[in-house]
A = this chain, B = another copy of it.
Amino acid sequence: MADNTQIVLVERPTGKLKESHFELRQGPMPVPGDAQVLVRTILLSQDAANRAWMQGPTYRAAVNPGDVMHGYALCEVVESNAPDHQPGDLVLGEAGWQEYAALDAGAVQRAAKVRPLTHLLSVLGIAGKTAYHGLLNVAGIEPGETLLVSAAAGSVGSLVGQIGRIRGARVVGVAGGPEKCAWVVAELGFDACIDYKGDALPAALGEHCPRGVDVYFDNVGGDILQAALFAMNQRGRIACCGAVSMYDGGALTGPIGVPGLLVVKRLRMEGFIVMDFADRDADAERDLSAWVADGRLKVVEDVIDGLENAPRGLIGLLAGENRGKRIIRVGPDPRS
């Protein structure tokens, strides 16, 4: 039987993630048990949260040294011991960083009939639903309000800002570097984008958010959250989606002004995970598909070929090198 190429986490990173924390190996071909399916990975999602998983249990189990690196993927069913799945079906599930995986049939989800397949991991996947639910169901946004979005060029942020524009908000992004910021404005249609590496945040927020910030969609925590707290308007809402600045060896400090500014300005900060809104995913899929179809929502994807490039891909993502949704193409699309 063919080997199964896998990437294993061999050491728990304490500072920045490095390629030496991973090892590529040939593992055995998994054998599906009762009520399991054998799947072949086609596209692997890369997300900043992958790094957080290495630090310990979060909203899910930790990735521990010796584990095949965990990851969410679009896969093809190769063999099925479950009545609901047939060979050739496309499914989504936690296949990990490997070519083949045996997964519980109850833990995989049938993929919608969507082209291109990459959309199943970007705009119609976790990124798109996270953007949609976080902005519309956690924070809420009204026409004329000012929306601030960090990691504005990233998979979630790029969609949050565009959805904010569709809903009539003034949208200001935060991203790293003048080139990326220019791209966020020119390509994604944000009203402005602040370069956190070059601009003094408080002054830039004052300039680009002249009426203050009503909603801050926070992907990063840290200094940008700190500056946003001071710029928030009364009754502002902060959707806490992630804390990228703290995942990869960032300093563990908390924002000054919590809870003082929350009281004085009556702010609401609320954390969420996309799975919490599964009962409203149909709304998200309907709206996101319609916006893509009519050209109001640009889907930006950053696809890297080859499982062996997954470590480099995640390291680069944590350094902010991606634009839009980073995906590793592990194997061929069976329908192409």
Residues of chain A whose beta carbon lies under 8 Å from any beta carbon of chain B: 52, 58-59, 218, 221, 225-226, 238, 240-243, 246, 252-273, 276
Cα A62 to Cα B224 with chains together (Å): 27
Name, among A240, A263, A273, A276, the residue most crowded by chain B CB atoms within 10 Å (CB to CB). A263
Q: Given known contacts A59-B266, A221-B259, A267-B270, what 6 new A-B pairs fall within 8 Å (CB)?
A: A221-B260, A246-B260, A258-B269, A259-B269, A266-B273, A268-B269
The 7 closest A-B pairs by CB, nearest first: A254-B254, A262-B271, A240-B259, A263-B271, A254-B255, A240-B262, A268-B270
Cα A240 to Cα B267 with chains together (Å): 9
Name, among A240, A257, A267, A272, the residue most crowded by chain B CB atoms within 10 Å (CB to CB). A240
- 29 residue pairs from A and B, CB less than 8 Å apart: A52-B260, A58-B264, A221-B258, A221-B259, A225-B258, A225-B259, A226-B254, A240-B259, A242-B259, A242-B263, A254-B254, A254-B255, A254-B256, A255-B255, A255-B258, A258-B258, A258-B269, A259-B271, A261-B271, A262-B271, A263-B271, A263-B273, A264-B271, A265-B271, A266-B276, A268-B268, A268-B271, A269-B270, A270-B270
Please, which residues of chain B bring their CB within 8 A of the CB of A266? 59, 270-273, 276
Interchain nearest-CB distance for A235 vs B (Å): 8
Q: Are A241 and B258 in contact (CB under 8 A)?
A: no
Cα A259 to Cα B267 with chains together (Å): 14
Number of copies of this kind of chain in the complex: 2
Interchain nearest-CB distance for A263 vs B (Å): 4
Please, which residues of chain B bring their CB within 8 A of the CB of A260? 52, 221, 243, 246
Cα A80 to Cα B248 with chains together (Å): 66
Please, which residues of chain B bring their CB within 8 A of the CB of A276? 266
Contact of A263 among B243, B253, B254 (CB under 8 A): B243
The chain B residue sitting closest to A218, CB to CB, is: B259
Q: Are B273 and A269 in contact (CB under 8 A)?
A: no
Contact of A270 among B240, B254, B255, B262 (CB under 8 A): B262
Please, which residues of chain B bring their CB within 8 A of the CB of A269? 258-259, 262, 268-270
Please, which residues of chain B bring their CB within 8 A of the CB of A221? 258-260
Q: Are A256 and B262 in contact (CB under 8 A)?
A: no
